[in-house]
C-alpha cells in the first residue's frame, strides 16, 4: 500500500528487521513457557475469569503482532498492546506478554512523537500511584500496594528508561548538529580568508606591475611609430628601466607568497619616503609631475595604501590623461591622511595603453579596508582622485 499526498504516492514505512526478531522471539518464548504450563497465575486465582488453557496465547499473539509497529507506529502498537495486556490479566497469564508490553511502552517513549514522550511517563506514574493507593484503601490491606509496584515495573520503569535514552539521543543529535554548524562556519571563514587574500594579492600585483607595463606599452608604441634613432633609443632605455623595475616588483611579490611567516613583509615594502622616486620615475615616463607632501608619522597600513593610491593614479594619468601638469598632494589633518592627485582630462580621448579597469576598484578597496573614503571623477576640467585614510594605530 502507498499513501498519496498531493498526488504523489509515498510508500508506507516498513518495520525494522530487529523488530521482527523481537516479535518472533517473544512469541516463541511465550509458547515455550505455555507448553509446560508455566503461567503468571493459577487457575484458582479469583482474578482469573478465562480458565481455558489456551487462553493466554490470544493476548500473546496480539501483543507479539504489535512489536513490528514499535518504530513505525509506536502509539498504535502501545494502544493495542494495552488492550492485549488487559485481556491477559483475566487469563492464566504469560510472562512473555508482560515482557513484550514493557518493550512497547519503552518504544512508544523512545520512537514516538515529542508529545507522546512527555505524556506517557506522566500517565504511567499516575497509574502507578493510583494502582497502589486505591486497592490499599479499598481493601484496607497494605498488600494492595503491591499492585502499584507491579504497575510501576510494567509501565513506569520502561517509560522512564525510554525518556532517559531519548534525552541522551536528542542531546547527542544536538551536539552533532552544533559540530556540523561549527565546521560549516569554519569552512566559510576559511573561504572568506582565501578570497580576501586573493583580492589582496591581486591588488598588489596590479599596483606594482601596471605602472611599468603601461610605460613599456606607451614607449614601445612611440619607438615603433617614429623614425628617429635618438627617440627610439630613449624609448628603449625607458622600456628597459621599467622592465627591470617590474621584474624586481614581481620578485618581491613572489617573496611574499613564498614566505613561511604569515605576517612577514619584505624590507622593500613601499613607504611614503619612496614617493619621490615614484614621481621621478613618472617624469622619466613622460609625465609632468609635482609632489607636495606634508605629513608626520603614518602607520604602515596607511602608508602602503597611500603609496599605492598615488602609484595607481600616476599610472592612470600616464595611460588616460591628456598633456599637462599632474599634481600629487598629501596632507595630514584631523586624524587622517588626505591624498589628492589631479591630472589633465579630456572626455572622449582614447587610452594610450590598454587597461583592466581594476585600478579604481583597487584604490576604493584599499581605502575601505582602512575605514576611509575614496572618490574619483572629473573636477573643473581635471581628473581628480581623492582619498581620506584614518590614521589608526600601526603594529
Task: Flag the least confident range among 30-39, 82-91, 255-264.
Answer: 255-264
Look at residue 266 in the predicted model and tell me its pLDDT.
45
Residue 308 Cα distances to 26, 262, 277, 279, 287, angstroms: 82, 21, 13, 12, 18
How far apart are the C-alpha atoms of 169 and 178, rounded to whole Å? 14
DSSP β-bridge partners for residue 376: 385
Would you list the DSSP string of 94-157?
-HHHHHHHHHHHHHHHHHS-HHHHHHHHHHHHHHHHHHHHHHHHHHT-GGGHHHHHHHIIIIIH
Between vectors from CA 195 to CA 190 and to CA 201, what angle results, nearest 5°?
125
Look at residue 105 in the predicted model and tell me its pLDDT.
94
Q: What is the mean pLDDT of residues 100-125?
A: 92
Look at residue 54 in the predicted model and tell me its pLDDT.
87
Which of 313, 382, 321 has the alpha carbon at shortest distance from 341?
Answer: 313
Tell me 260's DSSP state.
S
Q: Which of 217-231, 237-251, 358-372, 376-390 is predicted most confidently?
A: 376-390
Look at residue 221 in the predicted model and tell me its pLDDT.
65
Confidence band, pLDDT 50/70/90 cuts, at residue 348: low
CB 341 within 8 A of CB 326: yes
pLDDT tens digit string along 140-192? 777 767 778 888 889 999 999 999 999 999 999 999 999 988 888 888 888 88
CB 120 within 8 A of CB 108: yes
Tell me 356's DSSP state.
-
Look at residue 361 in the predicted model and tell me its pLDDT.
79
Q: Which residue has the cell 502507498?
A: 2
More confident residue, 189 or 246: 189
Would you list the DSSP string of 52-98?
-TTTTHHHHHHHHHHGGGTTTSHHHHHHHHHHHHHHHTTSS--HHHH
How far apart are the C-alpha atoms of 81 and 84, rounded to whole Å? 5
CB 262 within 8 A of CB 356: no
DSSP β-bridge partners for residue 332: 337
Which of 104, 138, 143, 142 has the alpha carbon at shortest distance from 124?
Answer: 104
Look at residue 60 in the predicted model and tell me its pLDDT.
94
Q: Is 352 exposed, middle or buried (0-12, 13-18, 19+ CB in 10 A)?
A: middle
Q: Is 80 exposed, middle or buried (0-12, 13-18, 19+ CB in 10 A)?
A: middle
Number of helices (H), then strands (E), belonging to the chain: the values are 11, 7
How far apart are the C-alpha atoms of 66 and 74, rounded to whole Å? 9
CA dihedral (261, 266, 267, 270) in degrees, to 10, reads -130
391 three-state secondary structure:
coil
54 three-state secondary structure:
coil
Look at residue 395 in the predicted model and tell me its pLDDT.
41
Look at residue 349 in the predicted model and tell me its pLDDT.
57
Give percent above pLDDT 70 in the chain: 74
pTM greater than the 0.85 cutoff: no
Q: What is the mean pLDDT of residues 5-10?
A: 52
Which of 208, 214, 389, 227 has the alpha carbon at shortest distance from 298?
Answer: 389
Amino acid at each position: 500500500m502507498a499513501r498519496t499526498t498531493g498526488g504523489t504516492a509515498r510508500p508506507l514505512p516498513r518495520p525494522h528487521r530487529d523488530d521482527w526478531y523481537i516479535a518472533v522471539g517473544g512469541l516463541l518464548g511465550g509458547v515455550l513457557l505455555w507448553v509446560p504450563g508455566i503461567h503468571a497465575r493459577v487457575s484458582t486465582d479469583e482474578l482469573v475469569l478465562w480458565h481455558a488453557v489456551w487462553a493466554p496465547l490470544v493476548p500473546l499473539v496480539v501483543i507479539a503482532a504489535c512489536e513490528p509497529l514499535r518504530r513505525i507506529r509506536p502509539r498504535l502498537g502501545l494502544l493495542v498492546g494495552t488492550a492485549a495486556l488487559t485481556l491477559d490479566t483475566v487469563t492464566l497469564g504469560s510472562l512473555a506478554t508482560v515482557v513484550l508490553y514493557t518493550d512497547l511502552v519503552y518504544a512508544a517513549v523512545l520512537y514516538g512523537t515529542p508529545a507522546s514522550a512527555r505524556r506517557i511517563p506522566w500517565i504511567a506514574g499516575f497509574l502507578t500511584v493510583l494502582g497502589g493507593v486505591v486497592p490499599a484503601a479499598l481493601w484496607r490491606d497494605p498488600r494492595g500496594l503491591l499492585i502499584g509496584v507491579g504497575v510501576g515495573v510494567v509501565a513506569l520503569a520502561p517509560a522512564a528508561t525510554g525518556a532517559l535514552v531519548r534525552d541522551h539521543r536528542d542531546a547527542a543529535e544536538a551536539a552533532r548538529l552544533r559540530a556540523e554548524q561549527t565546521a560549516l562556519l569554519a569552512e566559510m571563514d576559511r573561504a572568506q580568508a582565501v578570497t580576501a587574500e586573493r583580492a589582496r594579492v591581486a591588488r598588489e600585483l596590479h599596483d606594482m606591475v601596471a605602472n611599468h607595463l603601461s610605460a613599456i606599452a606607451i614607449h614601445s608604441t612611440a619607438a615603433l611609430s617614429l623614425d628617429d634613432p635618438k627617440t627610439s633609443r630613449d624609448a628603449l632605455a625607458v622600456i628597459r628601466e621599467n622592465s627591470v623595475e617590474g621584474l624586481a616588483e614581481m620578485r618581491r611579490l613572489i617573496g611574499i607568497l613564498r614566505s613561511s611567516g604569515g605576517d612577514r613583509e619584505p624590507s622593500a615594502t613601499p613607504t611614503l619616503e619612496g614617493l619621490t622616486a615614484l614621481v621621478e620615475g613618472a617624469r622619466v615616463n613622460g609625465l609632468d609631475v609635482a609632489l607636495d607632501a606634508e605629513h608626520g608619522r603614518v602607520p604602515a597600513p596607511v602608508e602602503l595604501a597611500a603609496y599605492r593610491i598615488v602609484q595607481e593614479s600616476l599610472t592612470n594619468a600616464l595611460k588616460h590623461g591628456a598633456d599637462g601638469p599632474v599634481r600629487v598632494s598629501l596632507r595630514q589633518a584631523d586624524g587622517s591622511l588626505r591624498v589628492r592627485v589631479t591630472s589633465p582630462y579630456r572626455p572622449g580621448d582614447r587610452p594610450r595603453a590598454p587597461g583592466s579597469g581594476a585600478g579604481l576598484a583597487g584604490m576604493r578597496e584599499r581605502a575601505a579596508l582602512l575605514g576611509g573614503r575614496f572618490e574619483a571623477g572629473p573636477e573643473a576640467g581635471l581628473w581628480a582622485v581623492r582619498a581620506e585614510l584614518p590614521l589608526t594605530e600601526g603594529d
